A = this chain, B = another copy of it.
Amino acid sequence: MEANRLIEMLLEHPGQYISGEEISRRLSISRTAVWKQIAKLREEGYEFESAPRRGYRLIRQPDKLSQAGLLHALQGNRIFGRRLKLLESTPSTQEEVRKLAEEGAPHGTLVLAEEQTAGRGRQGRRWYSPPGKGIWMSLLLRPERQPLSIAPQLTLLAAVAVCRAVRKVGGVDAGIKWPNDILVGGRKLCGIIVESVAEDELIRFAVAGIGIDVNLEANDIPQELSPIATSLSLESGRRIDRITLIGAVLTEMEQLYELYTQEGFAPVSHLWEALSVTLGREIAVHTPNGVLKGTATGLDPSGALLLLDQDGKHFTIFSGEVQLGG
């Protein structure tokens, strides 16, 4: 608790020294207790510079998610991530959020885990989520009295938010493959899954699951996935601070969700199209009813993908796996 408040205090003054005396005063603990807290934080991987009379300065945060660091990164948000649960290991953050949702957790509740032991990707596939190197998180959305039909729009909204955050923090040229894969150089960096629970025609809640391969190194990626998967550090050539990226994703999500509730899907659709690597390209889509080939031309107002085939026939695709390059 005191360690959290100490970290927050140091994060509020990045790069600056704070004297032991001031820490002692502001936390109402003895100088010896301050020293003990600093020692404890060093054990957790925090690095400090200390200088006589000047006090302590935070140099580096550990490569570990901390409640304090997360709350600091999310303090600009009004709702998303303000309630958060950080887990060392969990079968799946999606399941965690679903349970919390059934117990009445509010809109914007976030669950993060250092590791998922049974992370799920789209269509029941496993999502490889090794400890400490990625962002594995799920966000609870409670749209107010919205019909079920908007669920695909939430999927696209999440893709836009994550793609924008990854581009900003990682400085990479990430794009979206319909509906919600984030790619860099044709390889997948991030998977998104939105699960919705509806009652008759109304959404009760939705859970946006976001998995980002942040600091995975080449040998962290299972061999069979290496032609199609990458990580943000591999693409940007540097370690990425996960907490900064989490903060950026949640900020983008909150802003975009607010825009969406106020203005509807059109502006989200516009942003999605601008980031898309699917549109204007020859693609093959594996749908439940077979494979369709043609050029992706845009999104329809519901979020479905529009396709124009060689014979000039138009198709509206609600569900399927897109393969780029036909």
Residues of chain A touching chain B, judged by Cβ–Cβ distance below 8 Å, are 95, 102, 122-123, 144-149, 151-152, 155, 179-180, 193-202, 204, 288, 318-319
State in angstroms the CA–CA spacing of A195 and B201 once bound together. Answer: 9
Q: Are A198 and B200 in contact (CB under 8 A)?
A: no
Set of chain B residues within 8 Å of A102, measured between Cβ atoms: 95
Contacts of A95 in B (CB 8 A): 102
- 13 A–B contacts, CB within 8 A, in A order: A122-B200, A123-B199, A146-B288, A152-B200, A155-B201, A179-B201, A193-B199, A193-B200, A194-B200, A196-B197, A200-B319, A201-B318, A201-B319
B197→A151 contact, CB < 8 A: no
Tell me how far the C-beta of A256 lies from the nearest C-beta in chain B, rounded to whole angstroms: 17
Chain B CB count within 10 A is highest, among A123, A201, A319, for A201
State the majority secondary structure of interface residues on A: mixed
Known: A179-B200, A198-B198. 7 other contacts (CB 8 A): A95-B102, A123-B202, A145-B319, A148-B152, A151-B198, A151-B201, A196-B197
Chain B residue with the shortest CB-CB distance to A209:
B199
Distance, CA A90 to CA B180, complexed state (A)? 39
Shortest distance in angstroms between A180's beta carbon and chain B's nearest beta carbon?
7
